[in-house]
Structure 1
Amino acid sequence: MKKCNHCNSTEIEVDSARGDEVCTNCGTVLADNIIVSEVQFEETTHGASSAVGQFVSSDSKGGATGYRFLHGVTTESREVTLRKAKIGITHLSNILSLNNHCIETAHNFFKMALSRNLTRGRKNSHIYAACVYITCRTEGTSHLLIDISDALQICCYELGRTYLKLSQALCINVPSIGEFEIHIKKFLKFI
């Protein structure tokens, strides 16, 4: 029997789904990121089969990436995340009448944010909107932060905070165009 290094207890819980060993007496994690060679499946609420645990892709940099097994199709969770982001960014860009170049640029900003784990703990809609707004600023379009906020019905201040965090963390030099100048350009079209 295996014993805990800290309290010498033999009450060790091994969870192969999480990939860790924990002492139930003192709570010490004895091992984590345990790789198992067995594959377990569970039935989802809709009757489909789903693999239990985490899988490491061949191009992984040490972390585990999740896969989804649904109806015989294997999809890496990163692919799913990028696909959802592309849909969300395209939807917002279509509302704002942005071209395909802007959609691709915003999607690339999202990929950069995802690779640096800047998307964790933030709402997807805020991340998509911030990437689109960074694109609008770098491409010099006449869109305001409040336009994006109105299009998605999200708080302008939360969106602004997300935008600032992303642009600073990604080291993107956003041109400092005064919002007043954008208002003038935007509303001169109507006169």
Structure 2
Amino acid sequence: MSKATVCPNCGGSDIDNDQSRGNAVCVSCGSVIEDNFIVSEVNFQENSLGGTSVIGQFVSSEGKTGSSLGGNFRTGVGKESRMITLQRGKDRITHIGNQLNLNNHCLAIAYNFFKMAVQKKLTRGRKTDHIVAACLYLACRVECTPRIL
């Protein structure tokens, strides 16, 4: 993680590095200096039965998640269903995004939001079209693209 010493927006030097949220914020103006820190350390947690589990998850360069730390860690449960959900979401994002004349960068950002929602299990019990619309709206807001959904 690179330490930001000066805010590029206001020039302030009081930067709050929050490891738990993974961001660095200027205390003076509130600008997010750095977002989504990547932590390269592995932590373990002991449960009540004396077993251990990994805190966090492995992310490969291809974007696949899982654990490569041994056979005692359960990964890949429900992987096929998740892949189907991601593919359907990507198809819907592409279809609706093309109707709104959004560029590929906005579609990629919306798909990343969709993947986060699936990973955090925020899609269960909700219609895919509603999740897709929310992800496209977020992508438009992040990219300052004026669209009404």
- TM-score after normalising by structure 2: 0.49
- TM-score after normalising by structure 1: 0.38
More helix by share: 1
Larger Rg: 1
